[in-house]
Structure 1
Amino acid sequence: METIMPRWSEYTTGERVKILRGKNIRQTDLAEMTGLSVPTIQQVEQDKRLTLPTLMALAAALRVDTAVILGQQEPRRAMDHGDRTTMRNLSVAVHDTAVGLLPADSESPSSDELRQSITRCWDLYWQGRYVEAGGVAALLLAEAGAHLHAQPADAQAEAWSYLCDAYRLSAYVANLMGSRDLAYAAIGHAAQAADRTADDMRGPLVASGRAWIYLRDARLDEALALAEKSAVDIEPRFSTATMGQLVAYGSHVNFAAVVASRMGNKERATDYLSQSHATGARMGVEHRAHGTLFGPVSATTQAVGINVALGHTGKALTLIKSIKDVSPLSEAARNRYAMDKAMAQADAKQWDASLDTLESALVAAPDWARHQALPSVIVQKVGRASTARLRRVSKLIGAVPPGADGFTPATARTAL
């Protein structure tokens, strides 16, 4: 296993600036970005000089808070400069749109153009291209805001639904990128927008998104209560349900099973899993609606991770043997299934199989993997065996933790 690196606060300010600059930004580049001289950048990185104006300029250019440069706050997990720029732009778009501040060049797109943009953003999200999705979501918010303002006051319900979707997308991206405060803000604005639509489905969809943020914020009791309420609110009559309604219900009830499994509540998790499988069987095929994909393959593959969380390794391995084709899933769902499969194999002490599964996923989807904590958990579970395969996988995971230049601050160990 790799040597544990110092905590972020244990680096000097100069070292932190160099780490944040990374391999892709030279000192001359940073000087141009900040308007500072190259000698000033060199003096900062050598811990010889740092004035308040210089600190502010560096923070703006590196897209971090001043507290990160000073070592008072650790950088977001797996974020390079491009990631931080995207999240800063997304944050500005979320907060500005919420108070009606739109870019001066904003034009109102048509409803068809907005729907196409929303679909494209969801596609990027489910491909695991979260940084790109965040960039599109920032633009989408401005367009949806402009579209809303262009509508008569008595004909805005549909426009509010587009803005609701844009906020929900922003919340999902922020949550996965570790920007929890932004995720809470965006999902809150999504809830307010949902109240102004004429679509009864929007409210439960947003509530489920908030439950997911609770889950990643370790607020498990609240996550389960909200997930259960969302599933109940959205449950359709199977005999008359549309495919879109079944997608929404199946994904909601499956998420309730996920939360219950994280709490170790086997009875509830099993009950929700049963409903999830029943919904998938009723659908017969995978179907995309409301920004998500669900069907029989989704129900089965997600059940693997749920059984792993419950400690039902045998059930998870049996399910894995029954899964022959995951091509109907989105890229992100296939990647997540690979992680759950590797974890099940590790729990069963199938070390080589686990590392093979993990390595294949990391090589196939490095951009997706660097925003995930599970690979490090799997490697720790496999053990400290000094094998070539373990070293290869550990090297791949070395690109996953926060920062740049191989930096691995304490959050890489505590966030697992």
Structure 2
Amino acid sequence: MQWSDYTNGERIKILRGKDVTQAALAEMTGLSVVTIQKAEQDKQLSLNTLMKIANALGVDTSVMVGQQAPRRAMAQSDRTMMRTLSQTVHDTAAGLLPDSIAMDEAAAVRHGIDRCWNLYWKGHYTEAGALVVPILPQAAAYLREQPVGGQSCAWGLMADAYRLAAYVANLMGARDLAYSAIGHAQTAADRSGDELQPALVASGRAWVYLRDARLGDALSLAEKAAVDIEPRFSRATMEQLTVYGSHINFAAVVASRRGDKDLVKSYLSQSNATGARMGGEHRARGTLFGPMTADTQAVGIAVALGQTGKALDLIRGIPEDRLSALTEAARNRYAMDKAMAQADARLWDASLDTLEKALVEAPVWARHQALPGVIVQKVGRASTARVRRVSALIGVRPGVDSGFAPATSRTAL
């Protein structure tokens, strides 16, 4: 069933979801519960009421009237965060800062940005996006107070904050906002005087391109970003190795999506060499890399290339007790790649075991991912009874891969 096939009242009820009661929505809008009930029953819905409800639920009125479908997998809290984040990005870029904004020192802004990255790599994307909202104007206020010629640090903070906004928007499927935020990040990075900043932003833009199916552009930009910061191993700092390793590994990911096996092989060789040089996992500048990251991401690359046997061989060589070195998001992504490889090999029960464990341990993270739904559809062909239980965890129906499902329960495909 398509989004436009629902009535206005049904759309309100779907968007409200299980997290927001009619009474709560009434309080959010300033309307009475009776008015909300009538609106959901299609008995009475004025334009003023519709606009108040749309604003409270964090969607455009075009979504409310069925002209545009909502983004799947987004709960009401996600939509509210994204709307506020969008306003903040555009207002900050236009120089429109809140009257109440107080300038924090650079260390305080940096601490806030680091907290955002920690939330992001834990898979808490809504919380990370919500924290970017106050950080962006704080960074802008700090920039405004710096003397001409002494703004390099402030521009670096602005680049980081905008890049975070772009990452959250891109993951949430808000492509226009992702393009806008990464563009502002690029402007700030170019003024930061930091040799790593432009490459970090360029890699972020390549990721936006990748999710927008612009594979050629993504590969060109990812390659350039990696080459621009390639260090000399003999004197490279751990920060340089971390940033370079994550960049060259991402270039391998993009090349795998294009099916370029030779280029993938070249990049993975450099990725493995960098990881070996580092000796362990490290985080720096919103990136993370190390030998375990290189090994686990190689599994996803093999899956993308259709090399199921190779992916399973790589999985067998990765000790489970070493996965704790990864961030939560990285561990979860590896679990999805592992489950997909097992599904491709028709190891249905093993795939469901891997998938179910990840879904139970990280339900919030999984809600924003595409692979769980894809894996369920693939394994569903086996018609196993367990598929129904795993499907319930992500809100998809076994064997069904089309049509609209409520945004609060459907994986972002």
TM-score band by shorter chain is over 0.9
Residue 208 of structure 2 corresponds to residue 205 of structure 1: no
Residue 391 of structure 2 corresponds to residue 394 of structure 1: yes
Query: Can you list the C-alpha shifts for 1:172-226, whole angstroms capped at 9, x where unaligned?
Result: 0111111111111110000010111110110011010000001011111111111
C-alpha distance in 2 between matches for 1:340 and 1:162? 34
The aligned residue for residue 191 of structure 2 is 196
C-alpha distance in 2 between matches for 1:251 and 1:403? 35
Residue 312 of structure 2 corresponds to residue 317 of structure 1: yes
User: How far is 1:229 from its partner?
Assistant: 0.8
The aligned residue for residue 307 of structure 1 is 302
The aligned residue for residue 403 of structure 1 is 406
The aligned residue for residue 3 of structure 1 is none
Secondary structure of 2:149's partner?
Answer: helix
Residue 332 of structure 2 corresponds to residue 335 of structure 1: yes
- Residue 373 of structure 2 contacts residue 396 of structure 2 at CA under 8 Å; is this kept in 1? no
C-alpha distance in 1 between matches for 2:166 and 2:389? 34
Task: State the identity %.
Answer: 67
Secondary structure of 1:133's partner?
Answer: helix
User: How far is 1:95 from its partner?
Assistant: 0.7
The aligned residue for residue 236 of structure 2 is 241
Secondary structure of 1:77's partner?
Answer: coil
Count of residue pairs the alignment pairs up? 405
C-alpha distance in 2 between matches for 1:237 and 1:341? 34
Tell me the TM-score normalised to structure 1 length: 0.94
Q: How does 1:132-151 map to 2 (within 5 A)?
A: 132-151=127-146
Query: Can you list the C-alpha shifts for 1:215-259, whole angstroms capped at 9, x where unaligned?
Result: 011111111111111111111111111111111111111111101
C-alpha distance in 1 between matches for 2:107 and 2:58? 34
User: How far is 1:14 from its partner?
Assistant: 0.7
C-alpha distance in 1 between matches for 2:223 and 2:167? 19
User: How far is 1:117 from its partner?
Assistant: 1.1
User: How far is 1:399 from its partner?
Assistant: 7.2
- Residue 343 of structure 1 contacts residue 378 of structure 1 at CA under 8 Å; is this kept in 2? yes
User: How far is 1:404 from its partner?
Assistant: 4.8
Higher relative contact order (Cα pairs below 8 Å, separated by 6+ residues): 1
- Residue 8 of structure 1 contacts residue 71 of structure 1 at CA under 8 Å; is this kept in 2? yes
- Residue 72 of structure 2 contacts residue 408 of structure 2 at CA under 8 Å; is this kept in 1? no
User: Which of 275, 292, 298 pairs up with 2:270?
Assistant: 275
Q: How does 1:23-42 map to 2 (within 5 A)?
A: 23-42=18-37
The aligned residue for residue 286 of structure 2 is 291
- Residue 126 of structure 1 contacts residue 332 of structure 1 at CA under 8 Å; is this kept in 2? yes
The aligned residue for residue 401 of structure 2 is none
Residue 348 of structure 2 corresponds to residue 351 of structure 1: yes
Flag structure 1 segments of 5+ consecutive residues without an equivalent. 1-5
C-alpha distance in 1 between matches for 2:110 and 2:56? 34
Secondary structure of 2:325's partner?
Answer: coil
The aligned residue for residue 214 of structure 2 is 219
The aligned residue for residue 400 of structure 2 is none
Letter in 1 for 2:105: S
The aligned residue for residue 361 of structure 1 is 358
C-alpha distance in 2 between matches for 1:308 and 1:387? 23
Residue 77 of structure 2 corresponds to residue 82 of structure 1: yes
C-alpha distance in 2 between matches for 1:344 and 1:364? 20
Change (3 A) 1:107 1:405: closer
C-alpha distance in 2 between matches for 1:26 and 1:194? 44
Query: Can you list the C-alpha shifts for 1:308-337, whole angstroms capped at 9, x where unaligned?
Result: 111111111111111111111000000000
C-alpha distance in 1 between matches for 2:264 and 2:317? 20
What is the aligned-residue RMSD (CA, Å)? 1.5
C-alpha distance in 2 between matches for 1:173 and 1:253? 22
User: How far is 1:385 from its partner?
Assistant: 3.0
C-alpha distance in 1 between matches for 2:23 and 2:110? 42
Query: Can you list the C-alpha shifts for 1:52-91, whole angstroms capped at 9, x where unaligned?
Result: 2122111111110001111111111211111111111111
Tell me the TM-score normalised to structure 2 length: 0.95
User: How far is 1:402 from its partner?
Assistant: 6.1
